[in-house]
Structure 1
Amino acid sequence: MEVTTLARRATWTGGAVQERLRRLNLITTVPPLAIVGVLLVVLTARTWWHVVLQVIGLIAALATAERWTAGDFIRVARPCVAITAAVWLAGALNDDSSSFYGLCVVGSFTIPPLPRHRIAALLGLAVLVAALGASNPLFFHDYGVGRLLQYVVIPAVSVVVSTAFTFVSQRLYDLVAELEQSRDREAELAVIRERMRFASDLHDIQGHTLHVVKLKVALAEKLLVGDVDRARQELREVHTLVGDTIVQTKELAYAQRRLNLSAELENAKNLFEAAGIHVRVDREAEVDARAGELLGQVLRETTTNILRHAQAEQVRITLTESGISIVNDGAQEGGLPELNGLSTLRQRLADDGGELKVEQQDGRFLTAAAFPRREDVR
C-alpha cells in the first residue's frame, strides 16, 4: 500500500508541477506579447491594410508562444515563420515598419529550442529580416539612413535581442524541468527503497520462521520414539509459530508491524536451547525505545544466521541502553561469510544514525549494533 501510494503521488506531483509551469509561462509570456502587438497596431498602423498585416502577424506570434509554453510548437512554428515572413515583406512594401513584429516573435521562440546550430540559425534569421526589410528602400528608391535604420538595422537587431531574452527564459524553464525530473527520480528511488525494505522484512519473517519450523519438526520426529508428549509440545509450538508468522505478514503488508525486543530475546533464547546451544543473556540496561525495533531485527537475523551457518555450542547476548552484541562460537573457518540480511540491516541502521559491526576471529563470530547514547548526541 505504501509503495503504491508513493508511486501514484510521484506521478501526480510530476504532472501537476508541469501543468503549473505551463500556466506560469502562459501568463508571463502571452499577455505581454499581445499588449505590445496591440499597442503597435494602435500607434503605428496608418491604413486598414497595415492593421490587417499586423493583426495576422500578431495572431501567428501568439499561436507560436502558446504552443511554446506547451512544449509543442514545432508543427506550428514552421508555417508561422512563413506567414510572418510574408507579412513583413508585404509590410515593408507598404511602408509599415511595425510588420516585422510577428516574425521577430516567432523567430525568437523557434531558435532557442533547436538542438544545435542555434547561432547560425539566429544569424540566418537576422539576415532574412534585414533582407526582407531592405525591399522597402529598394521599392521606394530611398536609400537614406532613416529608412535603412527603420527597415533593416532595427528589425535585425530586435530579432537578435528578443531571441537572446527567449533563450534565457528557455534555459530557466529547462533548469526547472530538470529539477522536477530529479524530484521524480528521487520519488522513484524512494519507491524502490520501500520495496527493498518490504522484501527484507518479509525475508526476515518467512526465512526465520521456516528455518525454525524445520528445526522443530526434525526435533519432534526424533522425540516421537521416546518422548511423545515433548514431540506434541514441539508441534504445538510449530503451529503457534506459523500462526504468529501469518499475523506478522499481515501486519507487514499493512505497515503495522513492530518488533518487541524482549519477545525477540525470549524467542532467541528458546530457539538456541532447543537446538542444544547454551545461551547467556546479559541485560545491563533497558534499551532506548527508538532503537528497540532495529535491534530486535538484528537479533532475529543473527539468530537465524547462527542456526543456519554455525556449529555453535555457546552464544552470549549482551544488551545495553543503546546497543546489542551477539557472540557465538563454532564459526566457519575462512573469511567473513556473505550475509545479505545483515548487509541490508547495516544500511538501515546507518540511515537512523546507528552502526552495525560484524567480526570473525578464532572461531568466534561477533555481531554488534549500537546507536549513539543520548548524552553523546547532546
Structure 2
Amino acid sequence: MAGADGRGPGRDERSGRGRRPARRLGGRVRAAGPDRPGTRTVPEPAGTTRGRLRRLNLVMFLPLLTVVGLLLVAMDARTWWQALVLGLGVAAALVFFVRWAARDTSRVAIPCLAVTAAVWALGALVMGTGTAFYGILIVGSLAVPRLPRHRGLAVIGLVFYVAAVGAARLLVTREDVPGVLIAYVILPAGVTAVVIGLMFPNQRFYGLVAELEEAREREAELAVVRERMRFASDLHDIQGHTLHVVKLKIALARKLVHSDAERVEQELREVHALVGDTIARTKELAYAQRRLNLSAELENAKNLFEAAGIRVRVDREAEVDPHVGELLGQVLRETTTNILRHAQAGQVRITLTGTGITIVNDGAREAPPPELRGLATLGERVAGNGGELTVEQKDGRFLTAAAFPHGRSGAAL
C-alpha cells in the first residue's frame, strides 16, 4: 500500500520554535514511529504528507478489502451462522485497517487479532473453508511491521499459527492429505508470509517520509532563526553605534563641565537628539516600519521558502508603484515569517500588481487561525494609507492580500 500568516520577528511567537505537525523534539508528541502497547499514537495533521498518504490508502484500499471480504463470505458460507462468523472476521479486519490508517491501532490490535485468529480456527476446523484466514492475514500484515521489537519472531509465530491451524484440519477430516495441505497450510501460510514481507518496505517508506518532513521542519526553523538574526543585527546597528557615541560624548562632557560650560551644553544637546532619534528608529524596527525594498524582500522570501522545501511561484503582472512598495514589502515579510512558523505549506504563490500584492499558501490548518497581531498592526497602517489588507482562510488555503487602489502611501514614506 503506497506508502499563515505573518508575524514580525520575535513579537507574535511566544516560543522560539516553529509550530510543526505532530513530531517535535525534546520528548514531546511524536507522530512518527510504530505504535507501542499502552500508548496512543497521535494521528498526523491533515496537511502532512504522511497524513495524505494514509488517507489515500484508506480511500483506495478500504472499498477493495470490503468487496473481497464480502465475496469470500458469500462464496464460503453455507448457513447463516457461518456467514456471521466469517463476516465477523472481515469486520475485525476492516476495523483494524481503518485504525491503522489513522495511526491508532494500540486499542484494537489485540481484540482484532484474537477475533480473526478464532475465525480462522473455526473456519478451518469446523466450517471447512480455507479462506477464513482472510481476517488474520489483514490484521497480522498491518500489525507486525509496526511492532517496536521482536518483529521477526512475530512473523514466525503468526505464520506458524496459520499453518498449524490448517494442519489441524487433518485431525477432523478424511479428505485427501495433499488437498488439505495445499488449501489449509501451504496457501494460507505462504500468502500470509508474502504479504507481511511486502508490508515491511511499506513501513520503511513511511519512516523515510517522516524523516524528510522532519528535515523540512528543521529547515523552516533555521529560516526563522536566520530572520531573527537579521532582526537582531538591525537592532544592533541602530543601538550599538548610538550607545558608543553617547558614551564618548558624556565622557567628554564630564571633562569639560568645569572649564567649558558652553561646549558641555552642546554635547548634551547632541546626546539628547541622538537618543531621541535612536528611540524613534528602534520603535520603527520593532513595528516593522523601516523602509524596505520590495525587490529585496521578494528575493529574501523566495530564498527562505526554498530553503524550507516550499515551492514558490512569483507572478509580476506590472511594476509596483514605488509609493506603495514599502508597505507591500512589510506585508510580504510578515506573511513569509508566519508561513514558515505556522503553516504546513507545500506551495506559495506571490502575485504583484501595480498597486498590490497577494500571497497564497496551501498549508492552512483546519482550526481557526491564531490571533494575527502582526498583520493586524499592518492592517491599520495599510488602511490609514488608503489601502486594504485582506486575510482569508478557505479550503485549505491561506490568503494575505494588500491593495492600494489609488496607488498612494503617504504616511508610510
Q: TM range, normalised to the smaller chain?
A: 0.5 to 0.7
Output the CA distance in 2 between the equivalents of 1:62 and 1:173.
21
Matched, 1:38 2:70: yes
Deviation at 1:128, TM superposition (A): 0.3
Structure 2 unaligned blocks of 5 or more: 1-6, 24-44, 294-413
One-letter amino acid of the counterpart of residue 97, structure 1: G
1:82 to 111, 114, 125: 114
Deviation at 1:163, TM superposition (A): 1.1
**Which residue of 2 is the match for residue 2 of structure 1?**
8
Deviation at 1:12, TM superposition (A): 5.8
Give the structure-2-normalised TM-score: 0.57
Matched, 1:60 2:92: yes
Matched, 1:221 2:221: no
Output the CA distance in 1 between the equivalents of 2:140 and 2:101.
15
One-letter amino acid of the counterpart of residue 57, structure 2: N
Matched, 1:71 2:80: no
Which deviates more, 19-28 or 51-60? 19-28
**Which residue of 1 is the match for residue 279 of structure 2?**
246
**Cα RMSD (Å) of the superposition?**
2.6
The 3-state SS of whatever aligns with 1:225 is: coil
1:147 to 165, 180, 188: 180
Structure 1 unaligned blocks of 5 or more: 261-378
Check conservation: 1:10, 1:187, Cα contact below 8 A.
Answer: no
**Which residue of 1 is the match for residue 32 of structure 2?**
none
Deviation at 1:131, TM superposition (A): 0.9
1:310-355 deviation per Cα after TM superposition (whole angstroms, max 9, x unaligned)? xxxxxxxxxxxxxxxxxxxxxxxxxxxxxxxxxxxxxxxxxxxxxx
Output the CA distance in 1 between the equivalents of 2:231 and 2:83.
68
1:82-120 deviation per Cα after TM superposition (whole angstroms, max 9, x unaligned)? 111101001112112221100011100111112333222
One-letter amino acid of the counterpart of residue 181, structure 1: E
Check conservation: 2:235, 2:282, Cα contact below 8 A.
Answer: yes
Output the CA distance in 2 between the equivalents of 1:198 and 1:253.
9
Give the structure-1-normalised TM-score: 0.62
1:204-226 deviation per Cα after TM superposition (whole angstroms, max 9, x unaligned)? 33222212111111222333334
Output the CA distance in 2 between the equivalents of 1:157 and 1:25.
24
Describe the shift of the 1:13–1:87 C-alpha distance in structure 2 as closer, same or farther (beyond 3 A).
Answer: closer
One-letter amino acid of the counterpart of residue 70, structure 1: A
1:22-76 deviation per Cα after TM superposition (whole angstroms, max 9, x unaligned)? 3223223423222221222233333323311221111111111112122221331
Output the CA distance in 2 between the equivalents of 1:209 and 1:33.
72
One-letter amino acid of the counterpart of residue 20, structure 2: T
**Which residue of 1 is the match for residue 219 of structure 2?**
186
1:267-299 deviation per Cα after TM superposition (whole angstroms, max 9, x unaligned)? xxxxxxxxxxxxxxxxxxxxxxxxxxxxxxxxx
Describe the shift of the 1:171–1:28 C-alpha distance in structure 2 as closer, same or farther (beyond 3 A).
Answer: farther
**Which residue of 1 is the match for residue 368 of structure 2?**
none
Identity %: 55
1:183-222 deviation per Cα after TM superposition (whole angstroms, max 9, x unaligned)? 1122222233333333333233322221211111122233
| Larger gyration radius, structure 1 or structure 2 | 1
Deviation at 1:77, TM superposition (A): 1.1
Check conservation: 1:130, 1:156, Cα contact below 8 A.
Answer: yes
2:134 to 74, 79, 101: 101
Answer 1 or 2: higher relative contact order, Cα 8 Å, separation at least 6. Answer: 2
Output the CA distance in 1 between the equivalents of 2:239 and 2:292.
14
Check conservation: 1:74, 1:110, Cα contact below 8 A.
Answer: no
Deviation at 1:178, TM superposition (A): 1.6
**Which residue of 2 is the match for residue 11 of structure 1?**
20
1:118-142 deviation per Cα after TM superposition (whole angstroms, max 9, x unaligned)? 2222121111001112232321132
**Which residue of 2 is the match for residue 315 of structure 1?**
none
**Which residue of 2 is the match for residue 198 of structure 1?**
231
Output the CA distance in 1 between the equivalents of 2:212 and 2:82.
45
Moved over 6 A (4+): 5-9
Output the CA distance in 2 between the equivalents of 1:204 and 1:193.
16
